Each structure stands twice: as structure tokens, then as C-alpha cells.
A and B are shown apart, each in its own frame.
Chain A
Amino acid sequence: MVTNVTSLTRSGLSDFLVQRVSAVIIAAYVICVVGFFVANPGLTHGDLVRYFGSLSMKLFSTLAILSTAAHAWIGMWTIGTDYLREAHVGGGATALRLIYQSLCVLVLFVFVGWGLTLFWSLG
């Protein structure tokens, strides 16, 4: 079996809760942003910058970005530890999982750094 040294909180129970709380935050953000685009068909660059540049949207975007990173990590970790095991992929499973998890961390690290910089640099 795969030990949980690389899980988000080192506890399945709190990972379970983080997964659900972050899901609700992301869903609220998606509905808000998609709703904004649907409600504003003739959107200009100025409108977009004003919308995402407001303090409330900067905070909401920050919350959504951090929630996405936690949510994606728990989800990708679960998938990796379910399928990248000796029983499925043979003896190199631990090395393979290490590479897979490193790539996930790299993508999410870039996502958080880039996303926060993007939204907080708006005027």
C-alpha cells in the first residue's frame, strides 16, 4: 500500500474536509465569473480590468486560486496513489509516483504564483 506522507494535511479526514470546503469556494467563484461573462456580452478590456481589479474580486480570486491548488493536489494525489502502485505499474511505482507528484506540485506552484501576481497587479 501507499503511505500518506505526501497527502495535503497528513490526515485523510482533514483532507476530506479541505476537499469539500475548497470545492464549494471554487464552485461559487466559477458561477460568479461565468455569470459575469454571460451577463456582459459586449465586454471591453476596461470592463474586464475594472471587474477583476476590484478589491472584492482580488480577494475572491485569491481564495479561489488557493482553493484550487489544495483541491487539485488532493484530487491528483488520490488518483496517483490509487493507480500508480506496484500492483498496477510494477516495481518502479514509487519512482513514477514521485515524478508524477513533483510535476503536479510544479504546475500548481506556477499556477498560484502566476495567478496571484496577475490579479494583484491589476490597477
Chain B
Amino acid sequence: MKSSRPVSLTLNPFKFSWPFTALASITHRLTGVALFGVLLGALYIMQLALSSPAGFAEAKSLLAETWIKVLVLVVLASLVYHIFAGLKHLLLDFHVGDTYEGAKLGAQISIVLSILVTAALGVWLW
């Protein structure tokens, strides 16, 4: 085990100036935690829908409720952003866009694409 592995800086997030790329990065983390948080809930809905025709109808009526629809859209938005931000990381691994300007542009592209795909999924949900 290496004892020299990098350690994240000890910064006070409230005194820290948040450049655009930092916001894009922390959102990648936050959406990851959010997706972890809904794993079991998503499995519950899947189990309900797969259990029987009655369970399927119940899952359908659950997903028709406004607050659950909003929650599903938030989860889908998190998933879409997490995937686009992840794709950006894969490109960075191949040194595509790993300059400061490139990183800024990459973050902007991932956010614009996420908004477009989320909007399309929202139209589909409603």
C-alpha cells in the first residue's frame, strides 16, 4: 500500500469560491450519492411491476402520482447528468479536453446535453 496517495484538500466549502467546473464536479458526486440512495426503491418498483398483473397495475398507478413522477424525473436527470459527466471523464482519460479551457467547455457540453435529454424524458413522462 502506498502511503503517498493523494488526499483531498481541507477547504471550507462556504469560503471556497466555486468556479463553474467545481460546481459541475460536485454535481457529479451529488448525483452519484442520490442514485445510490434510490437503488433499493427502484428495485422495489421493479419487483412490484414484475410480480403480477395486479402488481403491475399498482406500480403504474404509483408512477402516475405527481410527486412520484417529479421524483422519477429528478432521478432520471441525475442519471443522465452522471452518465454525461462520466463520459467526459472517459474522454479526459484519453487527454481529450484536459486543459482548463477544454474542461470548462466539456462541463458546459455535458450540462447542455443533460438538460436536453432530461427535457425529452420529461415530455415522455407527462
Contacts and interface: CB of A to CB of B under 8 A. Distances in A.
B36 A27 contact: no
Contact of A111 (B1, B39, B57, B93): B39
A107 B83 contact: no
Contact of A3 (B1, B89, B93): B1
Interface string A80-102: 00110101100000000000000
B53 interface: yes
Given A75-B36, A79-B33, A111 B43 contact: yes
Interface string B25-39: 000010011011001
A45 B83 contact: no
Interface of B: 1-3, 5, 7-8, 10, 29, 32-33, 35-36, 39-40, 43, 46-47, 49-50, 52-53, 55-57, 76, 79, 83, 86-87, 89-90, 93, 121, 124
B10 A115 contact: no
B61 to A, nearest CB: 13
Contacts of B87: 27
A20 B29 contact: no
Given A45-B53, A79-B29, A82-B8, A110 B47 contact: no
B34 to A, nearest CB: 11
Interface residues of A, number: 39
A2 B55 CA distance: 46
A108 B37 CA distance: 10
A10 B57 CA distance: 46
Contacts of B124: 38
B56 A44 contact: yes
Contacts of B121: 34
A109 to B, nearest CB: 11
A79 B33 CA distance: 9
Contacts of B49: 45, 48
Contacts of B89: 20
Nearest to B90: A20
A105 interface: no
Interface in A15-53: 20, 23-24, 27, 30, 34, 38, 44-46, 48-49, 52
